[in-house]
Amino acid sequence: MIETIKAELNILRCLNMKPNYSDLARKYGVSRQTISKYDKGFERKETRKRKSKLDKYREEIEEKINLAGATITGVYKYFYSKDKTIGTRSNFDYYIRKNKLKSKNKSVAHPRYETKPGEQLQFDFKEDITMISKKGEIFKFNILTTTLGYSRMHKFTYSKSKTKEDVFRCLIEAFKYYGGVPKRLITDNMSSIVNVKTKKFTEDFRQFAKDFNFIPKKCNVRSPQTKGKVESANRFISRLVPYNNEFENEEELIEIINRLSDEVNNEINQTTSVKPIMLIKKEKEHLSPLPNKEIIESYLNYMKPATVHNDSMIYYK
C-alpha cells in the first residue's frame, strides 16, 4: 500500500498538482501525517532480521502444533522443558503468529457452577488414550481427572483400566495429593461404579463413600455445566500430545502425567485469576481427613487376574 501511495504522489508531482492530504488519507485508510511524510520524501529504513532461538526448532514446532489435539500451551511447555532459553510464552506465541504456525482449533465456553471451599470434587475418566514410546511400544491407557470446585486444583492419574478398583485407587491418590476429602464427589454414569439398570451408585462405591466420609452425586444427563470444571481440566490432557514418541517407558510416561498436574496447578486459572496452588491453602482447611491406614489399605490391596499364557492365570496386586 505504501508503494501505491508513493506512486500516486509521484504522479501528482509530475503534473505539478498539490496533493490533498485529507482525501488521500481517507482513500488509503491512513493518517494525513503519513501522506505528508511520504510526500516529503520519507523512506522506511530496512530493519535487520534477527534470528530467533526458536528457529532451530521451527520444523519440530510445526510438526507438534499440527498434531491432532495439540495446543499451543502444550507445545510451548514441551519445548520449554527441553530448553529453558527459548523465552517466554508471549515470545512463543509471536513466533507462531509470525511464521503462520498457529492452530485454528476453537474451544466453546460453558457456564460454571461456583462452589465453597471443600464443598465439591468432580471426577471423570479421559478414556482410551494411545501414546507411543521412542522404541515404538504402544501404550493404551486412561487418565482419571479430579478437580476441586473452589481452588480448581487438578490431579491427573494414570490407569490402564477403568474398574471400580481403579476408581478407588485413583481417588485415594487424589485425596492424598489434595491433603483431604471434600464433602461431595460428582461424576457421570461411570459403568464401574454405577448400576447400568438402576442408574444408582453400586453398593461398593457407596461403602467407599461412607468410609471416606463424602456424599456421591451424579451430574445431570446432558448438562456438562454441572461437571464443567473436570470437563475443562480434561482439555489439559492434550498437552501430552507433543510427548508422543518422546518418552522411554511407562515409568517416564507416568512421571510426565504427574508433572502435568503440578504444572497446571501452578498456572493462573482463567476463571479465578489465581493459581490453584494458592487457593488450595484455603480449601484444605475445609477438607475432611482421610480414614485410618487400615481402611485405605483395604481398598488398595486387592487381587486382580492377568493372563500370561493361553492355559494359565496368575494373580498380582
CA distance 163 to 204: 12
> Band of the pLDDT at 223, cuts 50, 70, 90?
low
What is the average pLDDT score of the chain? 84
Highest mean pLDDT among 10-14, 72-76, 296-300: 296-300
Average confidence (pLDDT) over 257-278: 90
Q: What strands lie across the sheet with 184-187, from one edge to the other?
A: 154-159, 138-148, 120-132, 184-187, 215-218
DSSP 98: H
pLDDT, position 316: 47
Cell of 144: 482419571
CA distance 237 to 78: 13
> Band of the pLDDT at 232, cuts 50, 70, 90?
low
pLDDT, position 134: 95
Q: Pick the closest to residue 118 from 291, 293, 281, 295 (CA basis).
A: 281
Average confidence (pLDDT) over 258-273: 89
81-131 pLDDT, tens per residue?
888 889 888 888 888 888 888 655 544 444 444 689 999 999 999 999 999
Whether the per-residue pLDDT at 266 is higher than 90: the answer is yes
CA distance 19 to 8: 9
Average confidence (pLDDT) over 242-251: 94
Q: State how beta strands 184-187 and 120-132 pair.
A: parallel
Q: State how beta strands 215-218 and 184-187 pair.
A: parallel
Average confidence (pLDDT) over 270-275: 84
> Band of the pLDDT at 74, cuts 50, 70, 90?
confident
CA angle 187, 169, 291 (to 5 degrees): 95
128-173 pLDDT, tens per residue?
999 999 999 999 999 999 999 999 999 999 999 999 999 999 999 9
Phi–psi pair at 140, nearest 5 degrees = -110, 125
Highest mean pLDDT among 146-160, 209-223, 233-247: 146-160
Phi–psi pair at 24, nearest 5 degrees = -65, -35
CA distance 103 to 82: 21
User: How many residues comprise the chain?
Assistant: 317
Answer with the residue of higher pLDDT: 23 or 49.
23
**To which CATH superfamily is domain 120-309 assigned?**
Ribonuclease H-like superfamily/Ribonuclease H (3.30.420.10)
pLDDT, position 231: 56
CB 154 within 8 A of CB 279: no
Which amino acid is it at 215?
I
CB 111 within 8 A of CB 228: yes
Q: Where are the domains of the chain?
A: 2-39, 55-98, 120-309
Q: Tell me how crowded residue 50 is: count the other CB atoms within 10 A of its CB.
A: 5
Answer with the residue of higher pLDDT: 315 or 200.
200
Whether the per-residue pLDDT at 226 is higher than 60: the answer is no
> Band of the pLDDT at 233, cuts 50, 70, 90?
low
Whether the per-residue pLDDT at 276 is higher than 60: the answer is yes
Helix residue spans in 179-292 (DSSP H): 203-211, 228-234, 250-265, 276-283
CB 65 within 8 A of CB 101: yes
Average confidence (pLDDT) over 12-16: 74
